A and B are shown apart, each in its own frame.
Chain A
Amino acid sequence: AQKITQTQPGMFVQEKEAVTLDCTYDTSDPSYGLFWYKQPSSGEMIFLIYQGSYDQQNATEGRYSLNFQKARKSANLVISASQLGDSAMYFCAMIRRSNDYKLSFGAGTTVTVRA
């Protein structure tokens, strides 16, 4: 069963604007973590940000922030001040203690930044 859902297959955003990528997850495990990875057209996987289920504050890393709404089981990625280099595929992923901490990925969202 799909545990991670990314409902936006593709998005366009204007340069310098902010964009929010949706991610919802399904687990009853109280101990879990959520990751976001970026995959540019060159193919490599780049770690962006992490949020643990017990973290009290939303994670931030530079222009990336994670809007963590635990009760709604959502972990949306916000990219502020978009740059052309942000054009890529973005994956949400989850680890759960009940799944031996294996990483489960969503299907991804393609972001295209327009000049």
Chain B
Amino acid sequence: NAGVTQTPKFRVLKTGQSMTLLCAQDMNHEYMYWYRQDPGMGLRLIHYSVGEGTTAKGEVPDGYNVSRLKKQNFLLGLESAAPSQTSVYFCASSYSPLAGNEQFFGPGTRLTVL
């Protein structure tokens, strides 16, 4: 099992460029999440999905879009990147948030927007 994988691991964008981050999991999890991590602020939820074809907004959704066309994949898009989106992005998945099922995290994507 690869667990949760993220592509790419690093990326540098110029302001206004677009990109898509790919998250894939092979654990048949229903729930998938995208977080961003900034220094001193912990992780903040951007968007999440409770199953194939569903998405919902998290704490900081502005400037991002997501899609979950396949159960195993969760895509995060930046349509017009801004320097404020410079961050480390983590994808996570879980079987169910109930009963203490942990979230499994990917290795992260370090994004710099110039």
**Chain A residues at the B interface, C-beta cutoff of 8 Å:** 4, 9, 33, 35, 37, 43-45, 47, 50-52, 91, 93, 95, 100-108
Contacts and interface: CB of A to CB of B under 8 A. Distances in A.
A44 B5 CA distance: 11
Interface of B: 33, 40-45, 48, 56, 58-59, 88, 90, 92, 97-100, 102-105, 107-108
Nearest to A52: B100
Contacts of B88: 43
Nearest to A44: B107
A45 B90 contact: yes
A108 B35 CA distance: 15
B102 A50 contact: yes
A65 to B, nearest CB: 15
B10 to A, nearest CB: 12
B105 A45 contact: yes
B50 to A, nearest CB: 8
Contacts of A47: 102-104
A100 B103 CA distance: 15
